[in-house]
């Protein structure tokens, strides 16, 4: 539709999740008319996220060093481990202020239709962590949708025989939804009301 650089930018923006063609065009023209310093800051932020951010070697949360902030925090309990799908879920749970244990980020959920099985997730790494015997409770905080439930069921069957208490977040979370979209109060209550599975 346009020529050269502006169309390239519209095309690239349009490939981002949640950005439709109209939004891509609006953002591209906003960038075109924006202050050069603002655009440079955006460009730097985009580059830095790829250069600096990596995954925590312990829990697979996003990190800027070997371990993420949660794993480095010595005041947190090693006895409770909360399993989530994505780093954004760690942020959602941290916002509730209800949890003082550690996390394990699976990197997704079991989804046979998309060819994602247990081997594609950080489940082997989870079992190695549990092997140290320090964890007493494992909280399954995968999303309350089909894939999240399937993943929770799979993990519960795998881990309960290890003698670790396995719990799942209480209902009250919007079914079919994404953990990150739950408000702090709902998610906080779901945390308090978690039940054994
Ligand atoms: Zn970590």
Q: For the segment 181-195, what is each residue's pLDDT rounded down to a tens digit?
A: 777 777 777 777 787
Distance CA(52)–CA(57), nearest Å, equals 15
| Exposure string over 27-42, b if 16+ CB within 10 A, otherwise e | bbeeeeeeeeeeeeee
How many angstroms is it from 79 CA to the middle of ligand 1? 15
Distance CA(110)–CA(149), nearest Å, equals 9
How many angstroms is it from 29 CA to the middle of ligand 1? 39
Distance CA(78)–CA(92), nearest Å, equals 20
Distance CA(98)–CA(95), nearest Å, equals 8
Asked which of 50-54, 65-69, 90-94, 173-177 is least confident by mean pLDDT, the reply is: 173-177
In this predicted structure, the answer to whether residue 13 has a pLDDT above a threshold of 90 is yes
In this predicted structure, the answer to whether residue 170 has a pLDDT above a threshold of 80 is no
Which uninterrupted H or E stretch holds 90?
helix 87-96
Alpha-carbon radius of gyration of the chain: 20
pLDDT band per the 50, 70, 90 thresholds, residue 173: low
Per-residue pLDDT at 169: 82
Characterise 140 by phi-psi region: left (phi > 0), alpha (psi -120 to 50), beta (else): beta
Find the distance separating the first CA and the last CA of the chain, reported in whole Å. Answer: 55
Per-residue pLDDT at 188: 77
**Mean pLDDT (whole number) for 28-39:** 97
Contact 83, 127 (CB under 8 A): no
Q: What's the predicted TM-score (pTM) here?
A: 0.77
How many angstroms is it from 164 CA to the middle of ligand 1? 21
What tokens were used for 99?
């949890």
How many angstroms is it from 136 CA to the middle of ligand 1? 18
In this predicted structure, the answer to whether residue 172 has a pLDDT above a threshold of 80 is no
Per-residue pLDDT at 174: 67
């Amino acid at each position: 539709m346009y020529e050269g650089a502006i169309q390239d930018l519209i095309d690239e923006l349009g490939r981002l999740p949640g950005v439709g063609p109209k939004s891509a065009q609006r953002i591209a023209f906003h960038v075109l008319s924006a202050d050069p310093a603002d655009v440079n800051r955006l460009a730097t932020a985009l580059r830095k996220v790829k250069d600096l951010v990596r995954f925590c070697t312990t829990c697979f949360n996003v990190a800027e060093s070997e371990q993420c902030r949660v794993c480095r925090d010595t005041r947190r309990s090693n006895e409770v481990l909360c399993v989530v799908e994505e780093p954004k879920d760690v942020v959602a749970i941290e916002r509730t202020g209800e949890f003082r244990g550690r996390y394990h980020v699976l990197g997704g959920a079991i989804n046979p239709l998309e060819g994602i099985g247990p081997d594609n997730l950080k489940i082997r790494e989870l079992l190695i962590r549990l092997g140290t015997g320090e964890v007493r409770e494992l909280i399954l905080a995968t999303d309350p949708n089909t894939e999240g439930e399937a993943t929770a069921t799979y993990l519960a069957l795998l881990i309960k025989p290890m003698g670790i208490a396995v719990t799942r977040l209480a209902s009250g979370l919007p079914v079919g939804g994404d953990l990150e979209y739950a408000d702090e109060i709902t998610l906080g209550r779901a945390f308090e009301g978690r039940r054994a599975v």
